[in-house]
Structure 1
Amino acid sequence: MQQGIGTTAEGGDANISRRTAIYYSASVGPIAIMGLPLSIYLPPYISDGGVVAVALVGLMFSLSTLWDGLVDPLIGTMIDRKSKGDAPHRRWMARAAVPLVLLLALLVSIGDRLEFWALLPLLLLYYSCYSLFDVAHLAWGSALSNGRSEVSARLFGAREYTAKFVLVVAFAAPALAQYLIPDISLQGRIVAYVSLVAIAMPLALLANRKVPGRPVAIEPGFGWRKELKLSLQSPSLLLILLVQFLNAFAFGAMASTYIFFAEAYLRLDQYGSLLLFLTFVGGAITTPLWVYAARKLGKPKGMMLMCSTLIFLLIGGLQLPLAGQLLPSAIYTLILGGAFMGLIFIFGMIADYAPVDAQICGRDRTAFIFASGNLMQKFGNASALAISYWLLGYFGFDPSNAEAHGKTVRNIWGGLPVIGWGLAGIIALFLVRQPWAQVQQLPLPRKAMAG
């Protein structure tokens, strides 16, 4: 089991030092960089290659993310049951690092020239290695917070802030490449982006060595049937997972069609990388404000505020005459990017709920819960990708003549996220009253924790 609240690796202090938060968040760099290319850059890149049809590209990425989602709980259970020693999470991340980098290099170098049957296995392996790295990092953060709401908000807020900062730097690379080489291909922009992994991965592994370990004792499992039964009997866990699915669906719908949106509706394809860059600048600027909201309002209320803000920006902003206008489009994407903060609240809620789940189940399932959250995230992304690309195909979208379908792309790009975040905000409303979700947490009797 995880260490008790007052017995951290930094002494008797139950709080996490700023240094620990910095080192923990520093290792999120590869996760941030290597996650988004699949949802933003790779589908259009594969489509442009012409080897795989547009509709089939959506199906392929949906199948691979669904596979990854199914594998996530297995990875989480493996981390929970096969970890021992002072820093097992660190070792899992190190094992995933090398194959993850090699697979990414293959995808961005030859992915557009591969047939469906050859590309799909690469995607499946890539997603699995990425999940191992990511789930281990999330479980480590939960172990460090040990159910303390203030600490989880601080750790996962630092994680998200660092991720936004890394993405600002990362998306500056293709924007700069496109500025210096106006005729650079989409593959060239992707290579400029992912080349930063060569810096981020070693830094992450070095930072991991500075994060305090948490001794983990191997605990016997109680079978998948009971594992699933206990999960289905927890309304809190089901609500959190549903919010994760809807948030991922909304963001996935925007991310998977953004390149087409910039080209077809904004008619600013030559500035597409710059606009993507600005969305993460906005996120980096506003992250401290959203962390403050998580700490002062509580994470469910913060999630509701974020959903309301995004819906307002999408419905209102897309009524503006943005087509062909660089400055208004840049301001709009900067503001919109400042509201993409769902993971601060969702990861924090999972970390706060994990000790409650341990009391219900009689054993720690932190990595399994985070992996289940990742499963919902992958299902959300896969559903968004499949539906978005199906709708594009249904309405006759042609990547070679994108500007002729500007309004269709705009409606898909903005409409699906409004639905997703609207439902997520409603679901978050039901989490507000859960005892573990209160801003000021107190020790709760066992029965009160059963929710």
Structure 2
Amino acid sequence: MKISRGTLAAFAAPCLPIAANGLPVVVYLPPYYASALGLDLAVVGFLFFVVRFIDVPLDPIVGHLVDRTDTRAGRFRPWMAGGALVMALGVYATFMASPGLTPLRAFAGLMLMYLGYSALLVSHTAWGAVLSDDYHERSRIFGWWQASNLLGLFLILGVPPLAQKLAASDDPSFGVHAMGWTIMAALPLTVGWCLLRVRERARTGGEHHRFADIMAVLKLPLLRRILLADLLASLAPGMTGALFLFFFVAARGYSTASAMNLLLFYFAAGLLSAPLWVRVARRFSKHRALIWSLMAYCVFQTATIIIPGNQFGIAAVAMVFAGIPAVAPAFLLRAMLADVSDAETLRSGQQKTGLFYAALAAVQKLGYAIPVGLSYSILQLIGFVPNLGAANAPSAIDGLVLLFVVPAVVLAIGAIIVLRGWPIDADTQARNAAALAT
């Protein structure tokens, strides 16, 4: 059954504020905390890593509880509503922080924000997995999901330069505060639309699995491959995102505003190319489309090393090409995981969709947490000065450039290796769906 565009739009709408809590947090908040708020560079890296590391085990617990939830409102609605409220409180504490912020207060704000983010993200993606049992329709569902994520990224990254322009000030706090207010305003509007418009399908398979199943699911070979591929595919843009401002401002001499505008080109290209990857997946299968996107990512990420300084047009073109393949892994892996969930439901008689997507959410968080903690520690070791516009030694700049390019390419190649020979195609999923229906 084909889902209407109106339903897909309502389902995808919460991605706008959810996405704003992903890469923009990595791109904006660590440099802001390390420069404008005066926290030590290594402390900032450690905080963002440890909060995500602590938060990771909570995702499977949330997924377990989502699978066991049975209310008149449905399985997913209570978790999305509660998650949105907690996330809004955390966004306020995190984005509205002022100079004099202590590491403890920074930790508390980040922890609160990511707790709400976990509940919202896990319940939302698990809901998307059960909207349809059709192999190609799932690509379409998560194509809308990813397009909405990219639109959210595109819009939220446009907020800081607009806020600074309206305030006629280069103070980064204007931009960060404006991002926070935008996220808090978008959360009730988008989540409310989704909860009111999208219906929940009847369950397939039993849902009362045991708490011990949280660890047991990690023994499933296909799930482990999905999780490893997603970790590698998330670490790659996570590394570049954590270093993006430093690379273009310190290594290439662009202004902070110009660097932010380059990010807009990157995400705009991803937004426009998402339907292309849906068509490729429909024509050749999801895993082949995913492998090809990772191969293209390796080529274009390597090419960023030759981006010249103070040539905005050339840099913008490079960001467009880099953004085209970067969009595919996130939504194709989630569409593939829905197929894995059906295969496991057929095998075991228990539906563990929430658990599966919680595991994937946990891995995604590591993909954003590890780069900040690791790359910032390496930058400090090589003597890099984080204050944007500060002078750095040539050796520190060379180290920054290599850190921006090489790890991302190596990680993407690793994801390609993991995904080779993927066993579930359209015919396999059709048989599984038919068996579950009977």
Fold-level similarity (TM above 0.5): yes
Task: Look up the match of 2:35.
Answer: 48
User: Is this contact kept in 2: 1:81–1:218, CA < 8 A?
Assistant: no
Write the distance in 2 (CA, Å) between the matches of 1:292 and 1:279.
21
Task: Look up the match of 1:297.
Answer: 284
Write the distance in 2 (CA, Å) between the matches of 1:113 and 1:38.
20
User: Is this contact kept in 1: 2:281–2:289, CA < 8 A?
Assistant: yes
- Of the three residues 228, 234, 241, the one matched with 2:215 is 228
- Of the three residues 75, 89, 98, the one matched with 2:85 is 98
- Of the three residues 140, 151, 166, the one matched with 1:165 is 151
Task: Look up the match of 2:360.
Answer: 373
- AA aligned to 2:414 is L
Write the distance in 1 (CA, Å) between the matches of 2:179 and 2:316.
20
Listed one character per residue, the Cα deviations across residues 318-366 of structure 1 (whole Å, up to 9, x for unaligned) are 224x222222112211221222221111111111211111123321110
Write the distance in 1 (CA, Å) between the matches of 2:367 and 2:156.
24
Secondary structure at the aligned position of 1:110 is classed as coil
Correspondence 1:443 to 2:431: yes
- Of the three residues 130, 138, 143, the one matched with 2:125 is 138
Deviation at 1:72, TM superposition (A): 0.5
- AA aligned to 1:61 is F
Deviation at 1:50, TM superposition (A): 5.3
- Of the three residues 215, 219, 243, the one matched with 2:207 is 219
Correspondence 1:26 to 2:8: no
Task: Look up the match of 1:430.
Answer: 421
Task: Look up the match of 1:253.
Answer: 239
Write the distance in 1 (CA, Å) between the matches of 2:391 and 2:363.
31
Secondary structure at the aligned position of 1:242 is classed as helix
Q: Map of 1:56-95 to 2, 5 A cutoff?
A: 56-85=43-72, 87-95=74-82
Secondary structure at the aligned position of 1:144 is classed as coil
Q: Map of 1:18-417 to 2, 5 A cutoff?
A: 18-49=5-36, 51-85=38-72, 87-110=74-97, 113-146=100-133, 148-180=134-166, 183-208=169-194, 209-216=196-203, 219-224=207-212, 226-232=213-219, 234-270=220-256, 271-320=258-307, 322-341=308-327, 342-400=329-387, 401=390, 403-404=392-393, 405-417=396-408
Identity %: 25
Listed one character per residue, the Cα deviations across residues 357-387 of structure 1 (whole Å, up to 9, x for unaligned) are 1123321110110010111112222222222
Deviation at 1:196, TM superposition (A): 2.1
- Structure 2 residues without counterparts, runs of 5 or longer: none
- Mark the CA change 1:357 to 1:446 in structure 2 (over 3 Å): closer, same or farther: farther
Secondary structure at the aligned position of 1:39 is classed as helix
User: Is this contact kept in 1: 2:298–2:409, CA < 8 A?
Assistant: yes
- AA aligned to 1:420 is L
Task: Look up the match of 1:418.
Answer: 409
Normalised by the size of structure 2, how large is the TM-score? Answer: 0.91
Deviation at 1:440, TM superposition (A): 6.9
Write the distance in 2 (CA, Å) between the matches of 1:345 and 1:76.
20
Normalised by the size of structure 1, how large is the TM-score? Answer: 0.89
Deviation at 1:425, TM superposition (A): 1.2
Listed one character per residue, the Cα deviations across residues 285-328 of structure 1 (whole Å, up to 9, x for unaligned) are 211111112222222111111111111012123224x2222221
- Mark the CA change 1:323 to 1:375 in structure 2 (over 3 Å): closer, same or farther: same
User: Is this contact kept in 1: 2:207–2:352, CA < 8 A?
Assistant: no
Deviation at 1:198, TM superposition (A): 4.1
Write the distance in 2 (CA, Å) between the matches of 1:275 and 1:179.
17
Deviation at 1:438, TM superposition (A): 3.9
The worse-fitting range, judged by mean Cα deviation, of 111-120 and 385-394 is 111-120
- AA aligned to 1:392 is L
- AA aligned to 1:222 is R
Deviation at 1:51, TM superposition (A): 4.0
Deviation at 1:132, TM superposition (A): 0.3
User: Is this contact kept in 2: 1:86–1:213, CA < 8 A?
Assistant: no
Task: Look up the match of 1:5.
Answer: none
Deviation at 1:445, TM superposition (A): 10
Write the distance in 2 (CA, Å) between the matches of 1:44 and 1:195.
19
The worse-fitting range, judged by mean Cα deviation, of 326-335 and 72-81 is 326-335
Deviation at 1:186, TM superposition (A): 2.1
User: Is this contact kept in 2: 1:84–1:218, CA < 8 A?
Assistant: no
- Mark the CA change 1:235 to 1:112 in structure 2 (over 3 Å): closer, same or farther: farther
User: Is this contact kept in 2: 1:266–1:325, CA < 8 A?
Assistant: no
How many residue pairs align between the two structures?
427
Write the distance in 2 (CA, Å) between the matches of 1:21 and 1:440.
25
User: Is this contact kept in 2: 1:244–1:373, CA < 8 A?
Assistant: yes
- Structure 1 residues without counterparts, runs of 5 or longer: 1-13
- AA aligned to 1:253 is M
Write the distance in 1 (CA, Å) between the matches of 2:361 and 2:4.
27
Secondary structure at the aligned position of 2:430 is classed as coil
